[in-house]
A and B are shown apart, each in its own frame.
Chain A
Amino acid sequence: MILPRFDVLVPQTVPEACAMLAKHADEGVRILAGGTDLLVDLRRPIVAQHVPRCDGCPTHPEGKVVSTIECLPSDSDPLMAPGGSLRAALEDPRHASPAYLVSLHKLKELKGIERLADGKLRVGALTTITEIERSPEVRQNWTALADGAADLGSPLVRNRGTLGGNIANARPAADTAVPTIALDGELTLHGTSGTRTVAAKDFPRGPGLSVIKPDEILTSVHFPSPLPHSDSAYYKLANRKALEISTVGVAVWLALEESNGPVKDVRVALGAVGPTPILAESVREVLEGKVPDEKMIKQAAKAAVGDARPIDDHRGAAWYRVQMVELLTARLLTTVLERIRGK
C-alpha cells in the first residue's frame, strides 16, 4: 500500500531537527526514527484489518470497539481530561496524517552505546534494538535491558527499531521501556529552548502519550553505574516467541548491601498492565532493608499486584494478568537474588 502524501525533512543536527519540529507543528509533523511503528501507523487501512480491537475495555458501555483514548485512566489528570493537552495531541488529525516527517537518519551522534567515565551507560536514542541486544556491556551490567531488547518484535524489527523510538512511542507494553524504568534510566530531551532530563518512569502518560513537547527529541538514555551486589532481569510473557506484544512484562532490578545481606534498593517495573509501564513502588516498601526470603518475596509480589491496573483485552484478561504479575515478580526476584548471591 502506498503511503499517504507527506514531505520528509532530513536534519543534519539535533537543533536543526528541533527547529523543524517547531516550525511545522501547525501543519502536523512526526519524528521518523526506525520507522517500524510510524510507517505502520501511517498505513491506517491495513492496520485496521490487523489490529484486534480493545473490545474488552471495561469503560465502554456496550463492549464494542473503543480507542485507546477511551481506555485512559482518569479525566482527573488535567493533561488527560477532555480538552487537556495530551489528549488533544492524540486526537489531533495532524497526528495521524502529518504533513511532514523529520527523519533522524543522518544524526550519527544519536547512535551508539558508550560507557562513561563515571560508570554510567549512555545509549544514543537511535541505537538499534539489535545493537543493544548484542552489546556485551549491556548484557553484563544492565541485563534487564538486554533481555527486553532480545524479546522485542522480530530480528527485522530489532534491526530497524531504536531505543528512543520504543520509549518515545510510550506504549504500555514496550519491551525496552519497562526495563529502562526498572534500571532507573534517565531520558535526555532536546528542544528549541534547551535540554532537560526526565526519569524514565515519569515519561509516559498514557498509551502513546508522554511528557515530550512538540519541539522535543529524545536524544539519549543514561543508565546509572551498576551497584555492587546488584543484578536485573526482564521477562516477557507472550503467546509466541516472535512478533508479539506482551500480555505481561516484568522487569526487576535488585541491589543488596552485601551478597547475603539486606536489600539496599529494588525496582520492579510492570508492562502491559496499565495505560503506561508502571514502577511498582510498593515492592520497595516490602523489601527495603530486609534480608529477603521466600515468604518476603511472595509478599513483595503481592504488593506489585496492588500497583498494576490491568484491563481485559485480546491479549489477556485482567484476572490473568494480575496472577501473572504476582508469579513473574516472585520468579524474577528469586532469579535475580540467586544470581547476586552466586556472584
Chain B
Amino acid sequence: MKRIVSLTVNGVAHEVAVEPRRTLIDLLREDLGLTGTKKGCSIGDCGACTVLMDGVATFSCLTLAIQADGCEIETVEGLAENGQLNRLQQAFVDHGAIQCGFCTPGMLMVTTELLRNNPRPEEEDIRRAISGNLCRCTGYQKIVEAIQHAAKEQI
C-alpha cells in the first residue's frame, strides 16, 4: 500500500504517495522529475546519487523515501542562484572539473556540505570529502582545484 511522504525539495514542499520500497532517488527523479541527481551503482560505492538531507550529504539510492519524511532535501537543481550557476558550479566549469558530467551532481553536493562546515578546507580535507565519489574522467585533480578556487572566492 502506498504511503504519503511529505518533504521539502529545494525549498518547495511536496507530498508524494510512494510504495514502501521506493528509494529517495526514484522519488526525486521519477515522481518529481528532478533528473539532475544521478543513479550510478545503487550500492553506495559511487556517490553519484548524493543529495543533502537536512544538510547532510546522503546517498539517495540507499535512503528510502519513507525515511525522508519531514526532511529538507537539496539537490543539484537547487544550487543555481537567480538562474546563474553558483560559485562552486562555475568553478567546476572554469577548471575543467566536468567532463562526462555524471559524477558532477554528487561532487557538487558533497562539496556544498564540506564548504558549509569548513569554509577554508585544506587540500587534504577536500580529497577526504570527495573520497566517496567516483569520477572516471578527471583523475580528481581538476575537481580538487575547482573546489580550492571556489573556497578561496567565497572568503
Contact = CB atoms under 8 A, between A and B. Distances in A.
- Same complex origin of A and B: yes
Given A105-B67, A155-B110, A7 B59 contact: no
Given A103-B66, A103-B67, A156 B21 contact: no
B121 interface: no
Contacts of B62: 35-36, 39-40, 160
Contacts of A241: 128, 131
Interface in A128-170: 130, 153-157, 159-160
A43 B43 contact: yes
B57 interface: yes
Interface residues on B, range: 20 to 34
A2 B21 contact: yes
Contacts of B67: 32, 35, 103, 105
Contacts of B21: 2-6, 8
A206 to B, nearest CB: 23
B132 A46 contact: no
Interface stretch (B6-14, B44-52, B143-151): B44-52
Contacts of A47: 43
Contacts of B44: 36, 40, 153, 156-157
A267 B85 CA distance: 53
Interface in B1-45: 1, 3, 20-21, 23, 26, 41-45
Interface string A1-45: 111111110100000000000000000000010011001100100
7 contacts: A2-B26, A36-B44, A40-B44, A103-B67, A155-B110, A156-B47, A157-B44
A315 to B, nearest CB: 16
Contacts, number: 87
A159 B50 CA distance: 11
Interface string A248-268: 000000000000000000000
A50 interface: yes
Contacts of A10: 66
A30 to B, nearest CB: 13
A242 interface: yes
Nearest to A241: B131
Interface in A225-248: 241-243
Contacts of A3: 21, 23
Given A2-B21, A156-B57, A157-B132, A243 B64 contact: no
A53 B17 CA distance: 39
Nearest to A130: B56
A39 B132 CA distance: 17
